Amino acid sequence: MVKLSVEEQRRLLDVLLEIEELSSGEGRRSMLAIAGLGRLARHIRLEGSAYLSIGHIVTYLAGYGRDERGQEVLGLFLNAVKPVAGPERQRVLSELMTRHAMMTPVADLPPVGDWRGGAAPAPPPEKIIVANTLRPIAFLAHALEVARPVALVTVDGGGRTMLGTGFLVAPDLMVTCAHVVPSPEALAGTTVCFNHEDDRFGNALERSEYTPAPGGLFHADRRLDFAIFELRGSPGERWGWLAWEEPRIAAGERVNIIQHPGGRPKQIAMQSNFVEYVGGDVVQYVTATLPGSSGSPVFNDSWQVCAVHRAGGDLVDPATGEFTYRNEGVLMSSVLRALPSPARDRLNAAPTLT
């Protein structure tokens, strides 16, 4: 994710608005395709006012972050624009891309010391670079399995719409954040959408929507910022649910988050995903999220839910008292202790998934 200052955003918009190829909706669509980002075009407002449309492109791409190859998508777009920008505008774009390392890999590769060049009696041995990111291929199959009970939560009411993410912990019980669904009254405007996903060709899959059960179980804890509520129709019978566990997690380990950032089709963050702090009720990590990710399940590398994602930004590190840029979740062990007896009994009564 690229964090542009207000001045940088203004300057970038001034440059892009002067480029003829971006003056029309079709031109903007073509430039996204040239950048290899055509799949994202349907999520961006490309028609109408050039100022509003280009502003939306910049905001969306900056917030999207890196693609599956680890490259900042805003950097890919600006790099595609540069050849038609002219020398002065190219200089502005290059400076901005360099300042925010938009075309820099997530981690620089250290030199491999064993290679000396020239003839060698045998190939140099393979290396684990920086960290061991090797995983069995079944790791991906397991990710797809635990992603099924994760859903988009939409709450309409009071003249505004709140977007979040939630996940099933029983056939009919959904967990999200208390700031997403803060009260029983909010349930009247709440919709839970499963399978809000795209296939590998960018085509939307068939979605399945559910609503809260009238008079059903509801509990919200404002301090820990989690909520649990009952859905009608037992969606878990189709989509499954996640085991309610209390796995341990430690600083330096990895956490993966399956989420609906910005209400977009389901995404997964599983790169640059280290835990920075664990203590009390919280875990802090650098795994990527966006508004709309609140309520997402935070998984360890064994795909056990260890926390409920709830916040991000300049957070206080409880160990040092200093502000640092991180994301944060409430530990599942703390959530379980805070559940009222009726909710705990419902969880205990849920069938065990095999």
Query: What is residue 321's predicted lDDT score, i.e. its pLDDT?
Result: 87
Position 68 scores a pLDDT of 65
pLDDT score, position 103: 66
What is the residue extent of each domain of the chain? 6-99, 136-354
**pLDDT for residue 55:** 87
For the chain, list residues with pLDDT below 50. Answer: 105-116, 120, 354
Give the count of beta carbons closer than 10 Å to the beta carbon of residue 299. Answer: 27
Q: What is the CATH number of domain 136-354?
A: 2.40.10.120
pLDDT for 181 equals 96
Query: How do residues 161-179 score in pLDDT, each as one tens digit?
Result: 999 999 999 999 999 999 9
Whether the Cβ atoms of residue 53 and residue 17 lie closer than 8 Å to each other: no
Own/partner long-range contacts of 333-339 (Cβ < 8 Å, ≥24 apart) = 333/246, 334/224, 334/280, 334/281, 335/175, 335/221, 335/224, 335/226, 335/308, 336/244, 336/246, 338/221, 338/224, 338/226, 339/219, 339/228
Q: Which residues contact 221 (CB under 8 A, 6 or more apart)?
A: 178, 227, 335, 338
pLDDT at 41: 83
What pLDDT sits at residue 110? 45
pLDDT, tens only, 16-41: 999 988 989 888 998 888 888 888 88
Instruction: Retrieve residue 180's tokens.
Output: 């997403």
